[in-house]
Amino acid sequence: MFRDTRGLVFDLDGTLVDSRANIVRHLNDALAERGLPTHATADIAKWVGEGARHLVTRAVPASGRIDEVFDAFRGR
């Protein structure tokens, strides 16, 4: 059945693994290292589910810094 399959993709967060704490920590670290305000776990949890770019866009108060924080967040 999977003989020709090269890989599988899982949407782990909230299904197989609760990675919310890691997402919160890495996002807040990326923000704090750039002198930007951090956010509460409950707020970040509301932003999860529409992709990393959306998450960072919601978290960054200055639109001119989204790429910078996004790159740092993804590099963790």
Residues identified as active-site: 11
In sequence order, the 6+-apart residues with CB closer than 8 A to the CB of 60 are: 31, 36, 66, 69
CB 31 within 8 A of CB 60: yes
Q: 73: closest CA among 9, 8, 26? A: 26
Q: 61: closest CA among 25, 24, 26, 34? A: 34
